Structure 1
């Protein structure tokens, strides 16, 4: 639909601040999926084949025609068919999910390298790797869930029991799942069991009315953040931090600019994720019945909890609330399948999960700088919290609630600054410009992390902090190990 994209390019130039046309086309496709979701849920549950085919054809239209991603659609179709044949051939083997995992990741790596080469040569092309990243999560999760169906129930976690799949699904159901139209391009990712629950239920007028409210409220949230991004996307950018003019600013000005750039950058993700989430909810994805109080039971399909990201008081809360679908996949289908049961945190599993996460994102050096510094920052934040929160803050809070409030405000400011500082290379992408941007921000976070390490490992300042009865505090002893990151 070249004519449509020419119109979108004119619209972007005139009214949207020059946002890349592929992003505008993605927003248009997601908005169109709302209308399609209304049609999708009119199909009776007794006709699952029709629902699967509707989803497949809708994705072919939205992704292939509206977004002009015919190359990407071809890649993902070929990849999905090839991996399906592998699932059938190796269904009885315990190696099946690992073979699917490696092949899916390698195929995605090829696409990411091609994208990176085209961008480095200055070519402007529509990028389909975002959709392929969602595809990889879904197809590898399915492979593990099928493998779980061959195991004894006592070997499975509660999450695995809820999402286990007995045998390879039919080709039509499989394609309906991986090509589910509202979340195909930007997510959210979800398990096959969640998809099946959506396909199998018949909604009542009451339920659909409640789902309409939920879906369109979520859409409004996405539209709000789209306005934020359109208004300020060109004013606050991480790439500006590489420039000499930014280097001339004072520390406070730089810190404020850094945090505003982080919020505006996140606005683009909020827009895509929330608009897509609303369309998925409109189709019935995530609905899990009505409880005894007449309220909807809901499997959380959200990829981000915005309030927890923007106002969380700790790095852990921010991380847990961001890119939730990927975090869930990494936890349940990578980390917990490597870690030894009953042994607590596993260093090997942590490192391998970190490597898989980096591999999944791509090969720009900035990604690896972000993940490396982020892991160190998360570990340091955990050490500070164990050393200060229970033995100091909670003890002082009995003398006045303002102590806890002040601690939470300070934690929020530190968490947000840390998040935005860590995110700089993720958006700048290249190695030396990323280091330049950090240098222009005085390497505040790396210096702070070194200071925490020296204080708690060399000086062992934890010995002078009042201890608490908390098992965590006793176990930590105020120490931080760089190896733990």
Structure 2
């Protein structure tokens, strides 16, 4: 009886889902055949089409005028938005149009703050609408592209503010460098602006492309502004990078399909039922292991989407980041995820810094480096949570993330120097921190995926909120002794993830040099 009831409820929710989806239903037959929802099928079709169309910008459209390249980016973006979202795609035009009017009308000295507020209010209204009227099965909706557009218009607004009001930033050396590195002297034309905000390459799932990088790509500024050097006399080909990223995207999709039915995270919702098997018989250790595998399954969806989006950027010529020491071209300027950096991180900050990297750069520019030094981390996590929406799980995750970030920094400063005396001790420390980072990340991110308050609190309750209390206890540790060397201090202040991610500081000079301390998504 219980199975029949669940089957009926699932069928009813599926019907509601189908009715609420506004995108194209041409490929419903394909959706039924492969067993994926129509919104995900449309997403895959649009991204595969974008990957193929992106090649036009490196061959037939390479020598086309900037205006025509802008037009092609905009036209394909609008068609893609309508194909995936139907009448909801109107929001893709309304939000940037509203902000463009504000850019034209507002005094320059507070343009960024007003546009950030307006964009977040608009996005918040769409988030609330989705939570009220869409079913839980509704995977892909207009909020995803609107989140990316919000990043683009706000980053552009602050860039204009910083460049057009020079007298307000002369005292800030970082911002002064930023003005020189990413100079924008005037508000873009309507074609430039709307092509930038609706460019098809990153419309669906990012990564956010900053205005200066986009303009350099459109105008063909010597491969994203990087001068050709002695290792290469011709424009480097992204073919190898595209192949690797498409292969990684396919591998992530295969892993997701293989594990999704075995480790559905929805099983953890049964923790709210004291009579369920999960509540009665699962040990805390097995629950943590199951949660780790379930969140890995969800991460595979992100890996698939982000790697494919990055391949699209590379295939059209965006993302070139110079050459390494061996003269090999690097195509990681538009990278949103460092898969191995995240999965094998040895501290919480390094893991967070490897996730959604361009969003980290956006948060640094609009929140971390704006305002006073106090509560920087709190501002960033608060804006990040609001940007994602209003599900309670987001706020539980970002509260835990902020707490763990500060606590891990304190513990690393106090504990790490004790294990640097010998190689075996350092190996033991690295292994221990890898395991604890995986535990902390799993513990913190389960509510982000469960979304709702009751199952999230039930999950934490199964562990008696132990990691929260441990993190709070870590904050009470005494400060690091002055006897430690300066080298140790420098190691603590510079997260390992920055060693391989200089694009976080170079490609995002739109927001200044940065101090390397912010790594939040």
Q: TM-score, normalised by structure 1?
A: 0.85
Alpha-carbon distance in structure 1 between the residues aligned to 2:131 and 2:188: 35
Structure 1: runs of 5+ lacking an equivalent: 14-18, 340-345, 477-484
Q: Contact 2:252/2:300 (CA < 8 Å) preserved in 1?
A: yes
The total of aligned residue pairs comes to 450
**Residue 429 of structure 1 pairs with residue 443 of structure 2:** no
CA gap 1:109/1:294 in 2 versus in 1, 3 angstroms = same
Match of 1:138 in 2: 152
Given candidates 101, 105, 119, the residue that maps to 1:104 is 119
Alpha-carbon distance in structure 2 between the residues aligned to 1:35 and 1:114: 34
Match of 1:178 in 2: 197
**Residue 4 of structure 1 pairs with residue 26 of structure 2:** yes
Match of 1:445 in 2: 467
1:149 partner SS: helix
Alpha-carbon distance in structure 2 between the residues aligned to 1:293 and 1:471: 28
Q: Contact 1:134/1:189 (CA < 8 Å) preserved in 2?
A: yes
Name which of structure 1's ranges 43-52 and 465-474 shifts more when overlaid on structure 2: 465-474
Q: Contact 2:109/2:165 (CA < 8 Å) preserved in 1?
A: no
Cα-to-partner distance string for 1:3-30 (whole Å, 9 max, x where unaligned)? 43303421341xxxxx433123212211
Given candidates 342, 345, 349, the residue that maps to 2:376 is 349
Q: Contact 2:127/2:143 (CA < 8 Å) preserved in 1?
A: yes
**Residue 23 of structure 1 pairs with residue 40 of structure 2:** yes
Match of 1:81 in 2: 97
Alpha-carbon distance in structure 1 between the residues aligned to 2:332 and 2:156: 17
What is the CA-CA distance between 1:311 and the residue it aligns to?
0.4
2:261 partner SS: coil
CA gap 1:442/1:349 in 2 versus in 1, 3 angstroms = closer
**Residue 229 of structure 1 pairs with residue 256 of structure 2:** yes
Match of 1:16 in 2: none
- Larger relative contact order (Cα-Cα within 8 Å, sequence gap ≥ 6): 2
Q: Contact 2:40/2:140 (CA < 8 Å) preserved in 1?
A: no
Match of 2:410 in 1: 383
Q: Contact 2:119/2:150 (CA < 8 Å) preserved in 1?
A: yes
Cα-to-partner distance string for 1:284-331 (whole Å, 9 max, x where unaligned)? 112256689754365621111111100010101001111111110111
Q: Which has the higher helix share?
A: 1
**Residue 315 of structure 1 pairs with residue 357 of structure 2:** no
What is the CA-CA distance between 1:437 and the residue it aligns to?
1.7
2:134 partner SS: helix
Name which of structure 1's ranges 199-208 and 250-259 shifts more when overlaid on structure 2: 199-208
Q: TM-score, normalised by structure 2?
A: 0.80
Cα-to-partner distance string for 1:413-448 (whole Å, 9 max, x where unaligned)? 100110111001101111111101222344342243
Alpha-carbon distance in structure 2 between the residues aligned to 1:62 and 1:382: 43
Q: Contact 1:183/1:276 (CA < 8 Å) preserved in 2?
A: yes
What is the CA-CA distance between 1:242 and the residue it aligns to?
2.9
Q: Contact 1:467/1:473 (CA < 8 Å) preserved in 2?
A: no
**Residue 63 of structure 1 pairs with residue 81 of structure 2:** yes
**Residue 165 of structure 1 pairs with residue 184 of structure 2:** yes
Q: Contact 2:323/2:329 (CA < 8 Å) preserved in 1?
A: yes
